[in-house]
Amino acid sequence: MKYRIAGSALAAALIIFAGYAALYIAPVDMRQGQVYRIFFFHLAAWVSTFTAFTIVFISNVAYLSTRSQRWDRLGVAAAEIGVACCSIGLITGPLWAKPIWGIWWTWDARLTTTFLMWLLYISYLMLRGLMEDPRRSATLSAVFGVFAFLDVPLVYMSNRLFPTQHPQPVFFGGPNSGVDPTMAKVVVLCMVAVLVIMIPVLVDRYRLEGMRGEVEELRQEIELRTSLPGGNGLDAQARPVKEVL
Amino acid sequence: MSTARAAAILLGKELRLEFRTRELLNATVVFAIIVVVLFSFAFNPTPDESRHYGPGLLWIAFLFASSLMLHPSFAREQSNDTLDALRMAPVSSFAILLGKMLANFIFLALAEVVLVPVFAVLYNVSITGIVGRLVVVLMLGSIGIIVTGTVFSAISSHARMRELLLPLLMLPILAPLLIAAVEATSALFTTQPYLDRTWVAFLGGFDVVFLTASWLLCDFLMEE
Q: If DSSP states are collapsed to H, E and C, what string results for chain A?
A: CHHHHHHHHHHHHHHHHHHHHHHHHCCCECCCEHHHHHHHHHHHHHHHHHHHHHHHHHHHHHHHHHCCHHHHHHHHHHHHHHHHHHHHHHHHHHHHHHHHHCCCCCCCHHHHHHHHHHHHHHHHHHHHHCCCCHHHHHHHHHHHHHHHHHHHHHHHHHHHCCCCCCCCCCCCCCCCCCCCHHHHHHHHHHHHHHHHHHHHHHHHHHHHHHHHHHHHHHHHHHHHHHHCCCCCCCCCCCCCHHHHC
Residues 6 or more apart whose Cβ sits within 8 Å of residue A32: A100
Q: What is the pLDDT of residues A72-115, one digit of tens each?
A: 999 999 999 999 999 999 999 888 888 888 888 888 778 888 89
Q: Look up the ipTM and state it.
A: 0.90
Range in A36-40, A47-51, B176-180 the model is least confident about: A36-40
The average confidence (pLDDT) of chain B is: 90
Cβ of residue B85 closer than 8 Å to a chain A Cβ: no
Range in A178-192, B29-43, B58-72 the model is least confident about: A178-192
Q: What is the pLDDT of residues A185-238, one digit of tens each?
A: 888 898 899 898 898 899 999 999 999 989 988 988 898 888 876 555 455 555
Torsion sign (Cα): A156, A160, A165, A170: positive
Range in A223-227, B163-167, B203-207 the model is least confident about: A223-227
Amino acid at A20: Y
User: Whole-angstrom Cα distance, residue B7 to residue B11?
Assistant: 6
Cβ of residue A119 closer than 8 Å to a chain B Cβ: yes
Range in A82-91, B32-41, B43-52, B104-113 the model is least confident about: B43-52
Number of domain units in chain B:
1
Residue A165 confidence (pLDDT): 57
Confidence of residue B193 (pLDDT cuts 50, 70, 90): confident
Residue A237 confidence (pLDDT): 55
Confidence of residue A120 (pLDDT cuts 50, 70, 90): very high
Smallest Cα distance from B10 to chain A, Å: 23
Neighbour count for residue A135 (Cβ, 10 Å): 12
Tell me chain B's radius of gyration from C-alpha atoms: 18
Residue B48 confidence (pLDDT): 79
Residue A175 confidence (pLDDT): 47
Residue B147 confidence (pLDDT): 96
The average confidence (pLDDT) of chain A is: 83
Residue B95 confidence (pLDDT): 93
B169, B152 contact by CB (below 8 A): yes
Neighbour count for residue A156 (Cβ, 10 Å): 17
Residue B29 confidence (pLDDT): 93
User: Whole-angstrom Cα distance, residue B62 to residue B143?
Assistant: 12
Which among B86, B81, B193 is positioned nearest to B133, based on CA atoms?
B193
Which among A57, A62, A156 is positioned nearest to A115, based on CA atoms?
A156
With a pLDDT cut of 90, the percent of chain A lying above it is: 33
Residue A112 confidence (pLDDT): 85
Asked if A140 lies within 8 A of B158 by C-beta distance, the reply is yes
From the list B159, B173, B176, the residue facing A147 with the nearest CB is: B173
Residues 6 or more apart whose Cβ sits within 8 Å of residue A197: A11, A12, A14, A15
Cβ of residue B143 closer than 8 Å to a chain A Cβ: no
Confidence of residue A7 (pLDDT cuts 50, 70, 90): confident
Residue A239 confidence (pLDDT): 53
List the domain range (segments joined by +) for residue B130.
Answer: 3-222
Range in B24-38, B41-55, B162-176, B195-209 the model is least confident about: B41-55
pLDDT over 50 at A174, yes or no: no
Smallest Cα distance from A109 to chain B, Å: 11
Which among B213, B18, B168 is positioned nearest to B108, based on CA atoms?
B18
User: Whole-angstrom Cα distance, residue B190 to residue B181?
Assistant: 15
Q: What share of chain B is helix, strand, coil (3-state, %, to 5)?
A: 85, 0, 15
Asked if A158 lies within 8 A of B160 by C-beta distance, the reply is no
From the list A127, A144, A154, the residue facing B176 with the nearest CB is: A154
Range in A77-91, A225-239, B68-82, B174-188 the model is least confident about: A225-239
Asked if B213 lies within 8 A of A146 by C-beta distance, the reply is yes
Confidence of residue A172 (pLDDT cuts 50, 70, 90): very low
Residue of B nearest to A109 (CA): B176
pLDDT over 60 at B15, yes or no: yes
pLDDT over 80 at A240, yes or no: no
From the list B158, B172, B176, the residue facing A158 with the nearest CB is: B176
